[in-house]
Chain A
């Protein structure tokens, strides 16, 4: 049963993720990306990681994607304006995509395929366990990442601050 759900979900996830890059319309791309986040959350639920699933929805689907939509709406990309084609981005895309494929295939070659869910302890995703692991074993990385976020935020504020005109 779980296997069937997993495969259906994975297929849907891959389809909607493909739609993100295939659809010509930026707003629709974003909406498909939101759908993809939902499907990934569904995968987390399958792994009994409810906390992670909901945080994924709150943070990514609920906040970050809304900001994305915001920006795209302001850009007003209604018509698909095809400008003069430059070949440099094409080359860059082909080279970087190709090297990514190389890395992934070589990594897959070395890896051992496991069953969809190699998780033994399903209670690890619950809030209590996650919290105690995060704040006991990984306290330092956790706090350091908070500092990193803080610095990024301060940088944005500095950049977007309007110059005072006398």
Chain B
């Protein structure tokens, strides 16, 4: 099997997996919410309500396709698509395992090992806001526009703190390649132990970047009806909602790879390379990812929403200075070591 064929199969698998995980995240979210609020949650469609996401998806497909009369039609249709594309692009540089050996040839389980992989993630994340801005503006609706503008200002503010927290990580690992960063964390050398402050800043920024509660102001129902996707219906709305869950999955994957050792786990890293090891590595990284997805949901149903000025104050006056302090401390640590 040539490397190209393998990559095509691998990318298709990751693509399908992202969609599948996003689909079942909606189910998990409702179950977690139900658990936290002492309810049962969806249990009608299939055993334990497991077919609920399929039913929801089907419902969205059959909804009426609606385009507001005075909207910019091209951009209105482009918005959700763009949001979805940027959500799906990030997984290209995340390694979901070390390598598979087939007929003596080993294939790495990573879309591509860019030597600036970290910057690639950052670039794609910074583009995610276009889908929201275009969609919100093209709807020709005040609430949509306000939601979109909130999303943009929120993303820009938190990207800064996120970038600064990553700089400390890069100083420590002296590489921008995701593969190298992961391989430096084998055993218990997880970056979270060396960068606790950086991890917390990154985590908070990840919540803000994915527009999740307590930072879900762009779609704040009480003030903005539905936020930037008020005017969207049918599968266009579905794309927005779905891409948000994909973003959550990707953010969890990034958190797991950058700070929690990726596919490394103390006993798994010591094994000889074999099919079993690769399988265990995949299990390990997906375990970590699912934990973070659960954390996202847990926090959503625990904390109330921020006010917009509080959000901005937190971003600019707390997180950015903290991230700068973190960089200085990391520099000091490296000098003294």
Among listed A51-59, A91-99, A104-112, A146-154, interface-contacting one: A51-59
> Is the CB of B137 closer than 8 A to any CB of chain A?
yes
| Residues A50 and B126 in contact, CB atoms below 8 Å apart | no
> Is the CB of B122 closer than 8 A to any CB of chain A?
yes
CB distance from A71 to the nearest CB of B (A): 11
- Residues of B contacting A58 with CB < 8 Å? 119, 122-123, 126
| Residues B133 and A66 in contact, CB atoms below 8 Å apart | yes
| Residues A50 and B114 in contact, CB atoms below 8 Å apart | yes
| Residues A127 and B149 in contact, CB atoms below 8 Å apart | no
B 118-162 to A, binary, CB cutoff 8 A, 1 in contact else 0: 011011001101100110010010000100110011011001000
A126 to B176, CA, bound (A): 11
A 36-72 to B, binary, CB cutoff 8 A, 1 in contact else 0: 0000000000000011001101100111001101100
A31 to B133, CA, bound (A): 11
CB distance from A64 to the nearest CB of B (A): 10
- A73: nearest residue on chain B (CB-CB)? B137
Task: From the candidates A51, A66, A73, name the one contacting B156 in the complex (CB within 8 A).
Answer: A66
CB distance from B326 to the nearest CB of A (A): 20
> Is the CB of A33 closer than 8 A to any CB of chain B?
no
> Is the CB of A20 closer than 8 A to any CB of chain B?
no
| Residues A54 and B116 in contact, CB atoms below 8 Å apart | yes
> Is the CB of B115 closer than 8 A to any CB of chain A?
yes
- Residues of A contacting B137 with CB < 8 Å? 27, 69, 73
| Residues A62 and B126 in contact, CB atoms below 8 Å apart | yes
A17 to B269, CA, bound (A): 50
| Residues A66 and B119 in contact, CB atoms below 8 Å apart | no
- Residues of A contacting B149 with CB < 8 Å? 70, 73-74
> Is the CB of B75 closer than 8 A to any CB of chain A?
yes
Interface Cβ pair total, 8 Å cutoff: 65
| Given known A-B contacts A66-B156, A67-B156, A73-B133, A51 and B123 have beta carbons under 8 A apart | no
Interface of chain B: mostly helix, strand, loop or mixed: helix
CB distance from B151 to the nearest CB of A (A): 10
Task: From the candidates A31, A70, A74, A127, name the one contacting B176 in the complex (CB within 8 A).
Answer: A127
- Residues of B contacting A67 with CB < 8 Å? 156
B 152-184 to A, binary, CB cutoff 8 A, 1 in contact else 0: 110110010000000000000000100000000
Task: From the candidates A25, A57, A78, A126, name the one contacting B127 in the complex (CB within 8 A).
Answer: A57
CB distance from A29 to the nearest CB of B (A): 13
A 17-35 to B, binary, CB cutoff 8 A, 1 in contact else 0: 0000000010110010010
- Residues of B contacting A66 with CB < 8 Å? 126, 129-130, 133, 152, 155-156
A73 to B228, CA, bound (A): 14
A55 to B118, CA, bound (A): 11
- A59: nearest residue on chain B (CB-CB)? B126
- Residues of B contacting A27 with CB < 8 Å? 72, 75, 134, 137
CB distance from A41 to the nearest CB of B (A): 9
- Residues of A contacting B129 with CB < 8 Å? 66
| Residues A54 and B134 in contact, CB atoms below 8 Å apart | no
- Residues of A contacting B156 with CB < 8 Å? 63, 66-67
A67 to B126, CA, bound (A): 12
| Residues A69 and B123 in contact, CB atoms below 8 Å apart | no
Write the residues of chain B forming the contact surface with A, with a CB cutoff of 8 angstroms: 72, 75, 114-116, 119-120, 122-123, 126-127, 129-130, 133-134, 137, 140, 145, 148-149, 152-153, 155-156, 159, 176
Write the residues of chain A forming the contact surface with B, with a CB cutoff of 8 angstroms: 25, 27-28, 31, 34, 50-51, 54-55, 57-58, 61-63, 66-67, 69-70, 73-74, 78, 126-127
- Across the A-B interface, give the 7 residue pairs with the lowest CB-CB distance, nearest first: A62-B126, A54-B119, A57-B123, A58-B123, A50-B116, A54-B123, A73-B137
